Amino acid sequence: MFSVIALIIGGAAVLGFYGYMFSHLYSEHRKLKRGEKHLAEHLSRIGPPRPKFQSPRKSPGGKSSGSYRTRAMHFGVALAGFAAMFAELEILNRLLSTPK
C-alpha cells in the first residue's frame, strides 16, 4: 500500500515539474511571437538599415553574462529534475523489491 502511495506522489511530482516547464515554455513562446509582431511593425516604420563601421574587437553575436547565467540556471533545474526522477525510480524499485 505504501509503495502505491509513493508511486502516486512521485508521479504527481514528476508531472508537476514537467507541467511547470511546459507552461513556462509556452509563456516564453507567446512572448516571442508578440515581440516578433512588434519588431516587424517597428522595422517597417524605420526603413532599411544603413551600413555601419564595426570594430574588429567586438563580435556581432556576442552574448551578455546575463544570458549565460540564465542558461546555467535552466541547465541546473533540468539536471535537478533528472536527478529527482532517478532518485524516485531507485526508491520505488527498492520499495517494490522488498520481500513481503
Contact 97, 26 (CB under 8 A): no
Please calculate the CA angle 45-61-44 and round it to the nearest 5 degrees: 10
Q: Show pLDDT as tens, one digit a residue, over the chain (100 residues).
A: 777 888 888 888 888 888 888 888 998 999 888 888 888 788 778 877 777 766 555 545 555 556 788 888 888 888 888 888 888 888 888 888 877 6
C-alpha distances (whole Å) from 77 to each of 19, 42, 46, 93 are 14, 35, 40, 24
Amino acid at 21: M
Q: What CA–CA distance (Å, rounded) separates 19 from 16?
A: 5
Contact 13, 88 (CB under 8 A): yes
Residue 55: predicted pLDDT: 55
